[in-house]
């Protein structure tokens, strides 16, 4: 089966493009598929990522893989214009979370075409990777030896207050005060408008924050391998790849109840309850205050162990099989019409 990927840049490190790269690689290596550009002369089906960029050949079915929509009131019509146009014309939809499906169908309307929720996936990581073999990150061994609890948080923080960088720092600071007898370290990854790369901030005797900045995606599992917890307090996130990566590394996750992240967590972390989101258009960049009670801190202190067997659902081979089955059924349905 020849699948044309549309609106994809395999050289980009953005979430949708990284997901497309992993999915395409897995479909070609382990399934009877050839991934081609939408400009190619022959293909059986088109998989559009977010919005259609190339015109498909007549009669060829099109599936739209949605990555969420813009739901600030002032952005809704303008920024969703091409996404909505694609949504209204394709043969099937793939949503990356139940949260996204509910939000999109509420504002775009439900269509009488096949749809499915398939969450993101990644490669299985080896938690026992020998850090000392990666010389530029060898110093991480000392971080693990110097602290009792290590938290990791990763996002593109710049101009994104809904990712809650300040709240994440405060969460670990408050935990370190409550715990008293534990030295805590928060390592943050990604671009920040507040911290320069490799900046260390000592907030108290028991809490140190290290901002590393951007790192290569191929190295994230090395940092995750020293973590006790992955903190992702972002408000109304869709299906964050950083959380998928953390789970694949068997790192338990702390997240908000609102958005698609909690769907990934299941029993593999701690979900902080917030007021129920009503799926109306809103300025999500002004999230409500996140309230953390002492029971959350008690769970953090106890810790959580995740087995590799329990992470099969976030591994790319599992996710690719779901894509393959849905794509194949869409092709078959089109041929039988």
Q: What is the pLDDT of residues 127-171, one digit of tens each?
A: 334 444 455 677 787 888 999 999 999 999 999 999 999 999 999
Please determine, for residue 205, whether its predicted confidence score (pLDDT) is greater than 50: yes
pLDDT of residue 50: 97
Interatomic CA distance for residues 66 and 111, integer angstroms: 14
| Beta carbons of 185 and 210 less than 8 angstroms apart | yes
CATH of the domain at 25: 3.40.50.2000
What is the model's pLDDT at position 127?
38
Q: What is the mean pLDDT of residues 238-244?
A: 95
Q: How far apart are CA 318 and CA 4, in angstroms?
A: 21
Check residue 13 and give its pLDDT.
81
Q: Are residues 76 and 180 in the same domain?
A: no
Tokens of 266: 């299941």
CB atoms within 10 A of CB 273: 14
Residue 157 lies in a domain: yes
pLDDT at residue 125, as a whole number: 67
At 75-101, the pLDDT tens digits run: 999 999 999 999 999 999 999 999 999
Angle between helices 316-335 and 15-30 (to 10 degrees): 80
Q: Report d(CA 129, CA 90) in Å as an integer.
A: 43
**Shared-domain flag, residues 224 and 300:** yes
Looking at the domain assignment, is residue 179 inside a domain? yes
179 lies in the same domain as 92: no
Contact 289/264 with Cβ under 8 angstroms? no
Domain presence at residue 234? yes
Query: Is the pLDDT at 266 greater than 80, yes or no?
Result: yes
**Is residue 75 assigned to a domain?**
yes
**Inter-residue contact 329 to 204 (CB < 8 Å):** no
Phi, psi of 89 (to 5 degrees): -115, -15
What range defines the domain where residue 57 resides?
2-121+315-335
List C-alpha distances in Å: 37 to 6, 20, 26, 48.
Answer: 7, 12, 16, 11
* Whether pLDDT at 63 is above 90: yes
Say if residues 286 and 161 touch (Cβ distance below 8 Å).
yes
Q: Is residue 139 part of a domain?
A: yes
Same domain for 328 and 221: no
pLDDT at position 39 is 81
Instruction: Check whether residue 171 and residue 42 sit in a common domain.
Output: no
Q: What digits encode the pLDDT tens for the residues 10-19? A: 888 888 999 9
pLDDT given at position 191: 96
Residue 249 lies in a domain: yes
Alpha-carbon distances, residue 227 vs 71, 143, 181, 268 (angstroms): 33, 10, 18, 14
* Burial class for 305, CB neighbours closer than 10 Å (0-12, 13-18, 19+): exposed
In this structure, the answer to whether residues 86 and 135 fall within a common structural domain is: no
For the record, the structure tokens of 313 come out as 């659902």
* Out of 46-55, 160-169, 256-265, least confident range: 46-55
Provide the pLDDT for residue 131: 45
pLDDT greater than 60 at residue 119: yes
Residues 103 and 214 in one domain: no
Q: Is residue 126 part of a domain?
A: no
Domain shared by 320 and 305, yes or no: no
The contacts of residue 189 (CB under 8 Å, 6+ apart) are: 152, 153, 154, 155, 212, 213, 214, 215, 220, 223
Query: Would residue 109 count as lying in a domain?
Result: yes
Residues 307 and 329 in one domain: no
Integer Cα distance of 33 and 31 in angstroms: 5
| pLDDT averaged over every residue in the chain | 93
Is residue 59 very low, low, confident or very high in pLDDT (cuts 50, 70, 90)? confident
Mean pLDDT along residues 195-211: 97
Residue 299 and residue 192 share a domain: yes
pLDDT band at residue 48 using 50, 70 and 90 as cut-offs: very high
Residues 162 and 261 both lie in one domain:
yes
Query: Domain tally for the chain?
Result: 2
Both 292 and 193 in a single domain?
A: yes
Element (H, E) at 265: helix 261-265
């Amino acid at each position: 089966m020849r699948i044309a990927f549309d609106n994809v840049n395999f050289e980009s490190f953005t979430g949708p493009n990284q997901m497309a790269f992993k999915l395409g690689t897995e479909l070609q290596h382990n399934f009877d598929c050839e991934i081609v550009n939408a400009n190619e002369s022959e293909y059986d089906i088109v998989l559009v990522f977010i919005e259609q960029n190339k015109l498909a050949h007549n009669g060829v079915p099109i599936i739209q893989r949605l990555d969420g929509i813009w739901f600030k009131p002032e952005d809704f019509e303008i920024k969703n214009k091409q996404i909505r146009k694609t949504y209204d014309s394709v043969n099937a939809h793939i949503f990356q979370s139940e949260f996204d499906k509910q939000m999109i169908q509420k504002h775009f309307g439900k269509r009488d075409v096949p749809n499915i929720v398939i969450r993101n996936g990644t490669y299985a990581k080896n938690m026992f990777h020998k850090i000392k073999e990666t010389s530029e990150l060898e110093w991480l061994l000392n971080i693990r030896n110097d602290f009792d609890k290590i938290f990791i948080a990763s996002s593109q923080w710049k101009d994104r207050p809904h990712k809650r960088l300040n709240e994440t720092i405060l969460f670990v600071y408050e935990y370190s005060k409550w715990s008293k007898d534990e030295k805590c370290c928060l390592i943050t990854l990604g671009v920040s408008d507040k911290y320069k790369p490799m900046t260390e901030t000592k907030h108290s005797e028991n809490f140190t924050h290290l901002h590393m900045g951007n790192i290569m995606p191929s190295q994230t599992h090395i940092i995750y391998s020293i973590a006790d917890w992955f903190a992702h307090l972002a408000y109304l996130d869709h299906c964050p790849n950083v959380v998928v990566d953390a789970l694949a590394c068997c790192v338990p996750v702390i997240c908000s109840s609102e958005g698609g992240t909690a769907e990934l967590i299941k029993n593999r972390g701690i979900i902080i309850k917030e007021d129920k989101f009503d799926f109306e258009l809103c300025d999500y960049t002004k999230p409500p205050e996140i309230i953390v009670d002492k029971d959350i801190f008690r769970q953090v202190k106890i810790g959580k162990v995740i087995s590799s067997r329990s992470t099969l659902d976030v591994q790319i081979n599992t996710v690719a099989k779901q894509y393959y089955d849905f794509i194949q059924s869409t092709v078959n349905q089109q041929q039988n019409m």
